[in-house]
Amino acid sequence: MFESLGNAIREQQEKFAKKQQWIKQFVALLDNREILIDPFKEAALVHTVRPTISKLTKVGGVDGGIVSEEMTGFDLALYRAVATVFWGIGDKVESTYIPHFDPDPNIFFSPSLQSRQEFNRICTLRRLYVEYEVALMTIKQAKPTVLFIDGKVAPLSSDFVGSSSGKMVSQAEKEVKQIYTELVHEAMKQQVLLCGVVKDSRSRELTRALGKIIPDLIKSENLDRQFMQKWPFMLTDLQDTFLADSLLQQGERTAWCQTPLPSWLELEEDTEIRMTLAKPVEEDQPVKLECIINPHDQTMIDACEIGLSALQILSNHGLPLALPTVILEADERTKLNADHLDAVIDQISMTLGIPREQLRKRRYFTSSLRRL
């Protein structure tokens, strides 16, 4: 068994090594010439990130946490979100927390839903809602130049089931769409850059964008046809993070590239999402940044570069992790665990006069876990 597994892994490693070698030769062939075309927004493929920002720049980060359990006859979840805002970066750093340093979690309670899948979907939607609610609050109260969101800058269409979902899930989906649309409108109005930081992205948006323009580049730039004819085999099924890791040195990023807005999102025509991959830390893979902007607003276009600089500066925290400290701090403040859940279950137990063991659906499994 392990021999066949080892052979399969070795085969994949050899395949990726060949792809990495081809990518490096491809980059050398381009010599960072300014030849990229739409959907790229810059002509050169690789750029250096400016490692400084104004000390007056406010940079925020939002993250959410949730813990849940299926109980006897009902479903229970606790969730919350926190935003951290830094300013005075590079000197005496000031910070604030929104809504505050350690907010009480929200409680979701419902008679047992029809399936675990429905309960999990409700949990995801409630977490998204509170993250966007806190992000909106942060824009109104602190008005940062850049507001990082942990994960994609917009919910995916796949986050919404639509007509096939139950009434409770449908209502939760509607609420998430409403609060997110309000968030984007307010960000545009206040000229605050919403920037999603996607760690370990499995996307292929960058490779697909390159694949679309390579045939034209071969013709217009008179590139080595014998070498370039391999590109479909080298880029197909290649994840963006692997491609970017082969392209970038620490402190560099790929060209900004426009990506489609989610199909469910109804906004003004002057709205688009741009993405890039950046490598702020040598020991970690590049991270994907997604920014939602008005392409005709120069202030927001400039904010994209400020966001990249903030990512570069705030990722130099001594850990081999390409995430800015505002996100790490928000994550720390928003964490929920079994102790938070136990405290609520104890309150329910005392209120009802029912032993907590009778409330827990998996009390034997849970108690065995606690002994480990």
Do 328 and 344 have their domain in common? no
d(CA 324, CA 336): 21
- Spatial separation of the C-alpha atoms in residues 49 and 242, rounded to whole Å: 19
Contact 239, 208 (CB under 8 A): no
For residue 365, pLDDT over 50 is answered with: no
Residue 3 has pLDDT above 80, yes or no: no
Q: Widest CA span of the chain, in angstroms? A: 80
Quote the mean pLDDT of the chain. 88
| Confidence band, pLDDT 50/70/90 cuts, at residue 11 | confident
Q: Do 180 and 314 share a domain, yes or no?
A: yes
Boundary (domain end) residue, out of 182, 217, 238: 238
- Position 193 in a domain: yes
Residue type, 340: H
Residue 77, strand partner residues? 68, 108
Do 228 and 331 have their domain in common?
Answer: no
Is 45 inside a domain boundary?
A: no
| Angle at 256 (CA atoms; ends 142, 21), nearest 5 degrees | 130
Helices (H) and strands (E) in the chain, counts: 12, 11
Q: What radius of gyration, in Å, describes the C-alpha atoms of the chain?
A: 23
Number of domains within the chain: 3
Take residue 95 and report the two structure tokens written for it.
């910070």
Asked if residues 275 and 257 have their Cβ atoms less than 8 Å apart, the reply is: yes
Within this chain, do residues 191 and 211 fall inside the same structural domain, yes or no? no
Same domain, 210 and 267: no
Which backbone phi and psi does 20 adopt, to 5 degrees?
Answer: -65, -40
Residues 360 and 345: beta-carbon distance below 8 Å: yes
Same domain for 151 and 216? no
**Residues 213, 347 within the same domain:** no
Tens of pLDDT along 143-173? 999 999 999 999 877 778 765 568 889 899 9
**What pLDDT is stored for residue 95 in this prediction?**
92
In a domain? residue 53: no
Do 264 and 314 share a structural domain?
yes
Q: How far apart are CA 253 and CA 262, in angstroms?
A: 24
Q: What angle do CA 143, 145, 151 make, to 5 degrees?
A: 100
Contact at 8 Å (CB) between 290 and 153? yes
Same domain, 297 and 252: yes
Three-state SS across 172-224?
Answer: HHHHHHHHHHHHHHHHHHHCCEEEEEECCCCCCHHHHHHHHHHHHHHHHCCCC
The larger pLDDT score, comparing residue 170 to residue 369, is at 170
pLDDT for 201: 81
Q: What is the mean pLDDT of residues 252-281?
A: 89
Does residue 268 lie within any of the structural domains? Answer: yes
Residue 214: inside a domain, yes or no?
yes
Residue 110: count other Cβ atoms within 10 Å of its Cβ.
13
Let me know if residue 46 belongs to a domain: no
The span from the CA of 89 to the CA of 281, in Å, is 18
> How far apart, in whole angstroms, are the C-alpha atoms of residue 78 and residue 106?
6
Task: Examine the domain organization and report whether 254 and 274 are in the same domain.
Answer: yes
Residue with tokens 């639509």, as numbered in its chain: 162
> For 356-369, what is the mean pLDDT?
62
What does the buried/exposed string (b/e) look like for 220-249 if buried means 16 or more CB atoms within 10 Å of the residue's CB? eeebeeeebeebeebbeebbbbbbbbbbbe
Let me know whether 233 and 114 are in one domain. Answer: no
What does the pLDDT look like over 214-257, one tens digit per residue? 888 888 777 788 888 888 888 887 899 999 998 899 999 999 99
Per-position b or e across 118-145, b if 16+ CB within 10 A of its CB:
bbebbbbbbbbbbbbbbbbbbbeebebb
Same domain, 93 and 144: yes
Instruction: Please check the confidence at residue 370 and state whether its pLDDT lies above 50.
Output: no
Is the dihedral angle over the CA atoms 184, 186, 188, 194 positive or is it negative?
negative
* 311: in domain: yes
pLDDT at 163: 58
- Is 49 part of any domain? no
69 to each of 47, 66, 76, 365, how far by Cα in Å?
46, 10, 6, 13
Residue 186 in contact with residue 136, Cβ under 8 Å? yes
Domain housing 354: 339-371
The residue among 141, 143, 138, 184 whose CA lies nearest residue 56 is 143
Q: What is the mean pLDDT of residues 130-145?
A: 97
- Calpha distance 13→28 (Å, rounded): 23
Per-residue pLDDT, 366: 44
pLDDT band at 362 (very low <50, low <70, confident <90, very high): low
Domain end (from 214, 238, 262) = 238
